[in-house]
Chain A
Amino acid sequence: MKHYPENPETPFKSRTAETSAAVSSEARSSDVLSLSDVTYRYGKRQADVLKGVSFAAKPGDFIAVLGPNGVGKSTMFKCLLGFFKTYGGDIRLGGKDIRTLSHKEIAKQIAYIPQSTYPTFNYEVLDVVLMGMTAQLSALSSPKKEHTRRAEEALKSLGIGHLAHAGFGEISGGERQLVLIARALVQDAKILIMDEPTANLDYGNQFRVMCRVEALAHEGYVVVLSTHNPEHAFLYADRVLILNGGEVTADGAPDAVLDEDMMRQVYGIDVSIKEFSDEEGTHRVCVPKRGGGF
């Protein structure tokens, strides 16, 4: 496997679409999720939103997907969640073509954590978490005591057990995001797809949510999340996927992929990326230059 290093600490350069496309054709048994040459367009006469996206993920991967607005990040997620079935190319989940799987079968393997939005109906937090277990129930049944107990445990494990009976619409955005993570945990799926989970969150909550997500990746979950914050990628991800113009233009360790050139290429602005050290180790920070790029 060439497109990402076995050891995430090793800097590794791999920038071109050709490299990642070539690599994905050799499927590995440890890959739980793989996309090869996935294309998608919304209408017959419309241009392709995805133009041959390929990558694969194995347990423990924490993949941050970066790219400007409108490059197809959400479209890619919708394809690999099985919402869109008319894509070209191949998406495999645990070795099986995702088009052949029912929503229920997909839900047992992939949990989706959307951006936290204000809910239409103000369910109790506990009920929201219980909904994560729907795929484990038959269509005709409701959750039992044992499910409730598991939902309560999941909330406690995220430090929000006290919110079990609060209204989902009455808690803060950060808490709502944690509740959605708890819902994904009880879903018992090993792949977590998160569409900008820290959008709309305040500075502290962004950090709290990302810490929890990082811990889950260490436990063996596959995490694929989109973000607009390169520092989140530096801090937490062990792999960065740059999606630009419907293609994967880079795939590798954050320190290797995310540099000043790449930021200019992707976002069209000049940034300074600097390293500094503190008692926790060496970090990289990304600061936009006031003068450049506008």
Chain B
Amino acid sequence: MRVVRNSGCRCRASLDHFLREFSMTLDQLTPGQRGRILRIQGVDSVSSRLREMGFVAGEWVEYVCRAPFSGPVKCGLADARIAVRNGEAKRVEVELIA
């Protein structure tokens, strides 16, 4: 599946709608898949922690693996490896790039 972000679209509302329909969240990726971060949902201490750790729009993120008993997701972000729980991974909206 390949989602192409149409940056030329002038109508912001419909772009947002389009992204919400077709984008995924980090927890939905499968091992080895890479995506580009679209945005972090919500405004609270969880979202600010994620942002400080480098989950910002435009950044690449790779789903590496999951811990035993469907525990946290380990992902590659820039040069770092970061583990986030399912709840946090669901807050990270990504567009899938192959």
Q: Do A and B bind each other?
A: no
List A residues at the B interface (Cβ < 8 Å).
none
List B residues at the A interface (Cβ < 8 Å).
none
